[in-house]
Homo-oligomer: A and B are copies of this chain.
Amino acid sequence: MTDVAVVGVGMIPFGKHPQKTLVDMGSEAAYLAIKDAGLSPRQMEIGFFANAFAGRVFGDFTIGQNVFWKIGINRIPVVNVENACTSGSSAFFLAYNAVAAGQVEIAIAVGAEKMRVPEMGLLNSGQNEVDTQLGLVAPASFAMRAMRYIYEYDAKPEQLAQVSVKNRRHSSLNNLSGFRDLVSIEDVLAAPMIVDPLTRLMCCPNADGAAAVVLVSPAIARRLGRSVGVNTALLFSGSYENPQDQICWETDYRACRTAYERAGIGPEDLDVVECHDAFTICEILHYEAMGLCPIGEGAQFAADGETEIGGRIPVNTSGGLIGRGHPPGATGIAQVCEIVTQLRQEAGQRQVNGAKTGLAHCMGGDKEGDTKSCTIAIFSV
C-alpha cells in the first residue's frame, strides 16, 4: 500500500436545487474538484459515484456514468456505490484503495443526492426490514438511544441542544452550508418534537447536494502541490455486534481504534474532526467512540464548548449534517472536503488555526444495537 493524497475538492452549496438533476449536481462538483486539483477530466483513471436513494425516488440507475460523461470523463472504470449515509465515504474508501494499491495514480470519488423531492418519504435503515415495518424509522431509533443516554448518564436535553447551536453557528460561517441561521438552546428545545427527546432542530435536515474529491499517488501529489495526505481510510460493517447496548455502537469503537492504530496517532493528535451528527445524540456518542472525551461525558463536553471552533477539538466546523444538511450520497465526501480545506488553511472565518491533522467519520444504516456501516479517514499535512 502506497501513500495517497487528496489534491482536489469540490462542492456545490447544499440546500435546495429544484432546477438541477442529480447529473447536473454531481458533474458540477466533479468539475470543481478536478479544476481545484489543477488536472483535467481526461486524466481521471477510475471513478466512483455515490448515491443512496435515486433508485427509490427516481427509479434511476447507472447515474455515475452520466455524471462523468457530462464533463468528458469516459473510457475508465466507473462503479456506482450505495451504503446508506456512508455512500459518499464508501466511494472515497474505494477510490483511496484504488490509489493505495497502485492500481491507478488518479481516482475521483463523487457523491450526489436529491432529497428535497416529495417522493423521498421517511428515512429508515432498509425498507424491507422487520424493525422498519414495525415503525422503527430513523428518528425513532436514535431517540431511543438519546433516552437511554439521558437515563444512564443524567444528561440534559439542553446539552443535546448545544450540539445544534454549535453546528448552526459553524454553518453560519460556511457559504456551502444549507442551514445558516443561528439558533439558541431555547429555539432548539422549543422546536416541534419529532420523537422525544429529539426536536426538529436536533435532527439533520434533508438537503440536495453534491461533493467530489480527487485522490492521487505521491508522485502526482508532489507535482501538483497543495496536497493533503490521507493517512488511512477504512470501512467496517457492523452486525448486531452489541445489540443490547443502545449507547455504544461497537462498530464505531472498533473502527476508531483501528483507524488510530493504522495512522499511528491518537485522538489527542487531532486538530479538527467532521463526524456524523445525523441527530445531536449521534455527535455525542461519536465523541466518546473517537476518544475525544471519556465515555459518559460527551454531552457535558459539548455543553462546555470543547468542540466549538476555538475549543479543545473543533467538531463539524463545516456545520455538520445539522448545519450543512444531509444528502447521504454527498455527505461523506463533503466531510473530506471540509477536513482538506481546514488542513490547507483555506477555511476562512471558520479556520481552525494551524490545523495539521483531521479526521472524517461517517456512519450509515442504524440498526438495533449497531450500525450497518462506519467509515473513517484520517488526514494530515
A241/B83 contact (C-beta < 8 A), A65-B373, A66-B129, A97-B98 known: no
Q: Inside 8 A of A126's CB, which chain B residues have their CB?
A: 60-63, 66
Complex Cα gap A221–B285 (Å): 42
A378 to chain B, nearest CB (A): 16
Interface pair B84/A61, CB less than 8 Å apart: yes
Complex Cα gap A239–B84 (Å): 28
Nearest chain-B residue to A364 (Cβ)? Answer: B62
Q: Inside 8 A of A47's CB, which chain B residues have their CB?
A: 237
A137 to chain B, nearest CB (A): 13
Interface pair B56/A52, CB less than 8 Å apart: no
Interface pair B125/A239, CB less than 8 Å apart: no
Q: Inside 8 A of A239's CB, which chain B residues have their CB?
A: 65, 68-69, 73-75
Number of A positions contacting B (CB below 8 A): 61
Residue A326 lies at the interface, judged by CB distance under 8 Å to chain B: no
A284 to chain B, nearest CB (A): 24
Complex Cα gap A60–B133 (Å): 12
Q: How many copies does the complex hold?
A: 2
Complex Cα gap A82–B98 (Å): 18
Chain A 88-100 against B: per-residue CB contact (8 Å), 1 yes, 0 no?
0010011001101
Complex Cα gap A366–B90 (Å): 26
Interface pair A128/B68, CB less than 8 Å apart: no
Q: Inside 8 A of A22's CB, which chain B residues have their CB?
A: 128
Nearest chain-B residue to A97 (Cβ)? Answer: B103
Interface pair A62/B128, CB less than 8 Å apart: no
Residue A348 lies at the interface, judged by CB distance under 8 Å to chain B: no
Residue A209 lies at the interface, judged by CB distance under 8 Å to chain B: no
Q: Inside 8 A of A373's CB, which chain B residues have their CB?
A: 62, 65, 78
Q: Quick one: which of B58, B125, B364 contacts A128, CB cutoff 8 A? A: B58
A124 to chain B, nearest CB (A): 9
Interface pair B94/A236, CB less than 8 Å apart: no
A9 to chain B, nearest CB (A): 22
Q: Quick one: which of B54, B59, B62, B127 contacts A84, CB cutoff 8 A? A: B62
Interface pair B66/A56, CB less than 8 Å apart: no
Interface pair A236/B59, CB less than 8 Å apart: no
Interface pair B75/A94, CB less than 8 Å apart: no
Residue A193 lies at the interface, judged by CB distance under 8 Å to chain B: no
A345 to chain B, nearest CB (A): 32
A367 to chain B, nearest CB (A): 8
Residue A234 lies at the interface, judged by CB distance under 8 Å to chain B: yes
A97 to chain B, nearest CB (A): 6
A79/B365 contact (C-beta < 8 A), A61-B56, A128-B21 known: no
Residue A224 lies at the interface, judged by CB distance under 8 Å to chain B: no
Q: Inside 8 A of A77's CB, which chain B residues have their CB?
A: 93, 234-237
Residue A102 lies at the interface, judged by CB distance under 8 Å to chain B: yes
A75/B237 contact (C-beta < 8 A), A84-B61, A373-B62 known: yes
Contact residues, A173-213 vs B (CB, 8 A): none
Q: Inside 8 A of A121's CB, which chain B residues have their CB?
A: 59
Q: Inside 8 A of A1's CB, which chain B residues have their CB?
A: 102-103
Chain A 303-315 against B: per-residue CB contact (8 Å), 1 yes, 0 no?
0000000000000
Complex Cα gap A65–B76 (Å): 28
Interface pair A53/B62, CB less than 8 Å apart: no
Residue A265 lies at the interface, judged by CB distance under 8 Å to chain B: no
9 further A-B pairs in the complex, CB-CB below 8 A; given A1-B102, A74-B238: A1-B103, A22-B128, A55-B55, A59-B127, A62-B84, A75-B237, A77-B234, A79-B83, A101-B101
Instruction: Enumerate 5 A-B pairs (CB-CB under 8 Å) in ascending A order.
Output: A47-B237, A62-B83, A74-B240, A77-B235, A81-B82
